[in-house]
Amino acid sequence: MIYWFIFVWLGNLIVGGAIGNLRGRAGEGLLLALFLGPLGWLITLLLSDKRPKCFYCNEAITEGAMVCKHCGKSQNPGEYLATLKVRRKEAVEDPVDRWEREQRAQGEKTR
Ligand SMILES: [Zn+2]
């Protein structure tokens, strides 16, 4: 009888830890299962996802991953910042500035 109880209790902990692990909260999943049993599993499922998110597609990825498993893009923060700077330069250029620059370039050609 006691073996059956230990078996169920361990199973409860394993399920709680596994559910927590899905959300980057293995330790909390274990603790909640320890104190609340299957109710703890539910609470773990309702907790927010603690896993880091991909810079590009915003999907949850594994802690420390170098490449996103969803979109395959590099998770190097330096690379991401570099692409952001390029994008900002493109977006920030004023259409009037651009027109003037093009006019100047044309004027230099005809001169
Ligand atoms: Zn991604």
The verdict on 63 and 109 lying in the same domain is yes
Phi–psi pair at 60, nearest 5 degrees: -70, 135
Nearest to 44 by CA among 8, 18, 62, 9: 18
Q: Which domain holds residue 37?
A: 1-50
How many angstroms is it from 64 CA to the middle of ligand 1?
A: 14
Q: Which pLDDT score, from 0 to 100, does residue 7 have?
A: 92
The Cα 98–Cα 3 span in angstroms is 78
For helices 38-46 and 2-22, the axis angle rounded to 10 degrees is: 0
Of the pLDDT bands very low, low, confident and very high (cuts 50, 70, 90), residue 103 is: confident
Q: What is the pLDDT of residues 46-59, one digit of tens each?
A: 998 889 999 899 99
Q: What is the CA radius of gyration of the chain?
A: 26
| Number of domains within the chain | 2
List beta partners, residue 53: 60
Q: How far is the CA of 85 from the centre of ligand 1 (A)?
A: 19
Domain's final residue, options 13, 30, 50: 50
pTM: 0.60
